Chains A and B, each alone.
Chain A
C-alpha cells in the first residue's frame, strides 16, 4: 500500500536517501498549516487543468486564500486567471524567482513581515516542482515543505501519497474545510 502511494509522477524522478514522509490523512496537512506561523500556498501553472471538488485547483486555492490562514502565490502567468475569477490578494511570482527567495533565510516574504516557515505546493509541472523542492530540501533545511499534488513528490518534507482523482478531490476538500473551521 505504501509503495503504491509512493509511486512517482514520473518514473525516473527518484530522490536521494532523504524522501518525503507521506501525509497519512488530510487532517494532518491541515494541522501542519494551522500550526505554522507564516504558511504559503504555491499554485503552479497546471492548476487550471486539475479538477477538484471546487472546480479546479485555482478554485481550491481561492477558497484557501479566503480562509485567511495562508498566503497564496501563483507562479507562471497564472495570476491572470485568478484575477479573471475575481480573487484578490493573490501574489504573483515566477517559480524560479520564488524558489530562489524561499531558500534565502533573510527574505521577508511578500508582505515584508517575515519569511515563511511552511510552503505547500499544488498545480506545478511535476518535474519542475520536483526540482524546486529538491533545491529547498538541500539549501533551505529549516523550511518545511508540503506537496498537495496528486502524485507523490519525494523532495518535499511531507507529501500526499499518489492517489486516484476521486480520492484526491476528497482530500483537498477535507484540508480546506479544516482551514475554514479554524482552530
Chain B
C-alpha cells in the first residue's frame, strides 16, 4: 500500500450550484493499493496492541529489578524514598519506578534513531525528491521487513518512509506521556511499553539506513565489501586531518564530496569515530575509521586532528574544551548538539573559514551539510600548518607531573572498571611507563579519572604515552558495512537456521563500555565463527573485533568470509543497520517459512521466538539506544546478552528453567499444551565474565523447533564450551535433551551418565510445532 497526495485542479467548473473558476481540491493522501499481500491483523499497532504477547513473554521472563537508585526525583512531591515496599507520593512502587526508567531509556533511544532518520529524510527528500526510489539490497524483494511487518506498508519511495516515521513519532509521544507522574502504575505494563518503544526503534533504524543506502550509494547487501583501514596508524598524519564524530553521515558526505570535486584526497585525510565512521566508509572506502566511541579523548589527545566535525549522538559534550586544548576549531552540524556555538549557517563560507582559522571563534554551528563540506575542507587546509606547534607531553613531563600524585585513589574509584591507575601513575613517576601502557587497552576512555584527579592530571594522555610505541603505527583491516542480508541469502540458509543445523546467529552489536577491553568481542566472535555460527556485527563492536590479530597478523575480517552463511562474519554497518539483523530474522519467517508479513507482528515474533536461534550480544552496551535496540529484540523473541556493565540497565528478564509450567506451548498441529523445556532460558541477561557469556550464548541459541539433528549440533557446542570454561559437564542437560536422538554422537555415553543421575525421561520434552498463540492452532485433538 502506498499513500499518494490527491490534487485536482479545475480551471472552470459549471454546475447547478454555480460556476467556479480556478478551483483546486486537495485531499491529503489517498491509498494506492498495488501490494497483493492481504493486510494482517495489526497494521500501525498502538501502545496496547501487543500487550497480551508481551505478557506471554514477561510471564516466562520475569524482571529481576536491581534499582540503580532508591529514590524518585521526577516531580516536586519528591524526592520519594521507594526502598523495599514503600510507595512514592504518586503511589508508584520500586518495581514500577525501575520499569518506568527502563521505558524512558528505550524512548530516548528510539527517539534518537527516529530523529536521526527524520533529519536525514527531510534532507534527502530535498535533494533527491519524494519520489526517489528505494533499492536496499541486491536480489531482494523484501526491502523493509520491519516497515512491512509493523506498519503494513511496502515502501517504494522516500515519500513512503515518511509514513513510517510519522507513525513512530506519534507512538513515541504516547509512550513518553505514560511516564508522567500519575499515569501508568503497573510495572509489567511499563515493560510492555518499553517493548513497544523497542519495536518502534527497529522501524526507525530501518528507515534511517535504507534511505541512506538508497540515495548515497552505500553497499547494497554485498557480501565482500571493500576493506577499509581502522586504527591510529590508518591516518596519514602528513595530511591535514578532519575528525568526524557521531552518527549522522550527511555532513561527512558533503566533506567527502567537496574533497572529491576539488581533488583533495592527496592533501586531506578524513577519519571518523563511532558510527559516522562506519557510514563514511560505506560512502567512500578512502574515509578512515579511527575507532569506536571510546577513542574520542584518546584520539584528540594524540594531537593528530586538525579540525573536528561533530554531528549527533554519543559525542563528548565537552568536545569544545578538548578542542581548545588542541588548538583546533569545532564545526557542529546538528540542532541536537549545538554546543553553544554561534549559528553561521547563513554566513558566507569564506568569512566563517577566516574566523575559524584566526581563532576568532572556537567553532561554528552550520546546519547546511553542503556548506559544512566547503567550510571544513577550506578550514582544515589552513589550520593544519598553523597547528604544527602542538606538542604532546613527553616522558619527562609526565614523570614530573606524576611525582605530584597525592595517592588519594580518586582516579581508581572514579574508573568504571577500577583500573589500577594510581599505581601506574606512581610507576611513571619512577620512569616506568609500561603500567600506563597496560591501562590503555582496558580503558573505556570516559575520562572520569581526570575529572576526579585533584591534580588535574591528563590521565588519558598518560595512557596514550604509555602505549604510543605500539599504537601509533597500528592499523587493521575492517570490511566495510554491507547493509541488509539479501533475500537470496535468506533462502539459502533459512532451513539450516530454523531446523538448527546452523547452530545459531550471533549478533555482536553496540557500544564500547567493556569490562576488560575490546579484545573480548573478537574472542567471542571467533569462538562462534570456528563453530560455524553466523556472526553479524554493527557499530563499535564491529570495529573493536577488527583490532585483534592472530600470530600470522590476521584479524577475523581477514580470516572469515562476509556472506550470511555458516562461519560467515558480516559487518552490517552502523547502529541504524541493526534493523537489518532483526530484519533478517523477520525475513526467515517470511521468505523461508512463507509466513505473511504484512501487519502480522505477533505471528512473526512467535515464529522467530520458537524457531530462529538468534542471540544478540552487546558486550559493551552503554547507551539508551542500546537499550531500545535490545528491547526491539525482546519483543521479537530474540534473547540479548550484555556485559557486566549492562546490569546497570536496572533489570534482567530471566527465565526459571526449573519451573516446568513456565515452558508450556501449544502444539499447532494438535492444540495440545506441551512442555518444551527452557529454550531460550533468558530474554535479557547480564554476564559477569566473557567465558560465562560464551557458554550462555551457545545455550540461548536452542529453540523448541530444533530437529533432533539440530539440537544435537547445538548441544554439542553448549557442552563443549561448558567443559572448556567451567571445567565440567553442564548440570542442566535434562532440560534440553528431548530424546536419545538429540544426543551428539561423540558425547552420547557421558551425557547419558549425567541424565541418568537426575532421572531423565525420554520424550518428557516435546518436539511440537510450537506456538505461544492459541489462534495459530490448526486443529484440535
Give A45 to B725 CA distance when docked, in angstroms: 13
Closest CB of chain A to B635's CB: distance in Å? 21
Give A10 to B66 CA distance when docked, in angstroms: 17
Docked complex: A106-138 residues within 8 A CB-CB of B: 124-128, 131-132, 134-135, 137-138
Contact between B688 and A141, CB atoms less than 8 A apart:
no
Set B67, B85, B648, B688: member contacting A94, Cβ < 8 A: B688
Contact between A138 and B413, CB atoms less than 8 A apart:
no
Contact between B65 and A138, CB atoms less than 8 A apart:
yes
| Most chain B CB inside 10 Å of its own CB: which residue of A17, A78, A94, A95 | A94
| Complex: chain A residue closest to B67, CB-CB | A134
Closest CB of chain A to B611's CB: distance in Å? 25
Residues of B within 8 A of A132 (CB): 66, 647
Asked if B687 lies at the interface with its beta carbon under 8 angstroms from chain A, I say: yes
**Contact string against B for A residues 129-157, beta-carbon threshold 8 Å, 1 for contact and 0 otherwise:** 00110110111010000000000000000
Give A92 to B415 CA distance when docked, in angstroms: 29
Give A7 to B410 CA distance when docked, in angstroms: 11
Using known A-B contacts A76-B689, A100-B652, A126-B418, determine if residue A131 contacts B413 with beta carbons closer than 8 Å. no
Contact between A80 and B452, CB atoms less than 8 A apart:
no
Using known A-B contacts A11-B413, A100-B654, determine if residue A17 contacts B645 with beta carbons closer than 8 Å. no
Residues of A within 8 A of B418 (CB): 9-10, 126
Contact between B692 and A137, CB atoms less than 8 A apart:
no
Contact between A16 and B728, CB atoms less than 8 A apart:
no
Set A10, A77, A100, A138: member contacting B84, Cβ < 8 A: A138
Set B67, B414, B728: member contacting A138, Cβ < 8 A: B67
Closest CB of chain B to A122's CB: distance in Å? 14
Using known A-B contacts A16-B69, A139-B65, determine if residue A10 contacts B647 with beta carbons closer than 8 Å. no
Using known A-B contacts A10-B418, A127-B648, A135-B64, determine if residue A84 contacts B727 with beta carbons closer than 8 Å. yes
Give A101 to B67 CA distance when docked, in angstroms: 17
Q: Chain B contact residues (Cβ within 8 angstroms of A): what range?
A: 35 or more
Set B71, B647, B689: member contacting A131, Cβ < 8 A: B647
Contact between A94 and B65, CB atoms less than 8 A apart:
no
Give A57 to B645 CA distance when docked, in angstroms: 23
Contact between B452 and A11, CB atoms less than 8 A apart:
yes
Contact between B726 and A79, CB atoms less than 8 A apart:
yes
Question: Main SS of chain B's interface residues?
Answer: mixed
Contact between A94 and B687, CB atoms less than 8 A apart:
yes
Closest CB of chain A to B538's CB: distance in Å? 25
Contact between A99 and B688, CB atoms less than 8 A apart:
no
Asked if B416 lies at the interface with its beta carbon under 8 angstroms from chain A, I say: yes
Set A17, A45, A101, A103: member contacting B689, Cβ < 8 A: A45
Asked if B56 lies at the interface with its beta carbon under 8 angstroms from chain A, I say: no
| Most chain B CB inside 10 Å of its own CB: which residue of A7, A77, A79, A141 | A77
Contact between B648 and A131, CB atoms less than 8 A apart:
yes
Give A135 to B64 CA distance when docked, in angstroms: 7
Residues of B within 8 A of A101 (CB): 656
Residues of A within 8 A of B726 (CB): 77, 79-80, 92
Give A99 to B682 CA distance when docked, in angstroms: 14
Residues of B within 8 A of A138 (CB): 65, 67, 70, 82-84, 94
Using known A-B contacts A15-B70, A97-B654, A138-B84, determine if residue A128 contacts B686 with beta carbons closer than 8 Å. yes
Asked if A35 lies at the interface with its beta carbon under 8 angstroms from chain B, I say: no
Residues of A within 8 A of B70 (CB): 15-18, 134, 138
Residues of B within 8 A of A8 (CB): 413
Docked complex: A26-75 residues within 8 A CB-CB of B: 44-45, 75
Give A125 to B645 CA distance when docked, in angstroms: 10
**Contact string against A for B residues 60-80, beta-carbon threshold 8 Å, 1 for contact and 0 otherwise:** 001011111111000000000
**Contact string against A for B residues 623-661, beta-carbon threshold 8 Å, 1 for contact and 0 otherwise:** 000000000000000000000110110001010100000
Closest CB of chain A to B368's CB: distance in Å? 40
Residues of B within 8 A of A16 (CB): 67, 69-71, 81-83
Residues of A within 8 A of B727 (CB): 79-80, 83-84
14 A-B residue contacts at CB 8 Å? Answer: A10-B415, A15-B70, A16-B83, A45-B688, A76-B688, A79-B728, A83-B728, A96-B682, A100-B654, A125-B515, A128-B644, A132-B66, A132-B647, A139-B95
In addition to A11-B413, A80-B725, 7 A-B residue pairs with Cβ atoms within 8 Å of each other are: A84-B727, A96-B682, A97-B654, A128-B644, A128-B688, A132-B66, A139-B95
Question: Which B residues contact A (CB, under 8 angstroms)?
Answer: 62, 64-71, 81-85, 94-95, 410, 413-416, 418, 448, 452, 515, 644-645, 647-648, 652, 654, 656, 682, 685-689, 691-692, 695-696, 725-728, 731
In the A-B complex, list the 7 residue pairs whose CB atoms are closest, starting with the nearest: A16-B70, A80-B727, A131-B66, A135-B66, A76-B688, A76-B689, A77-B691
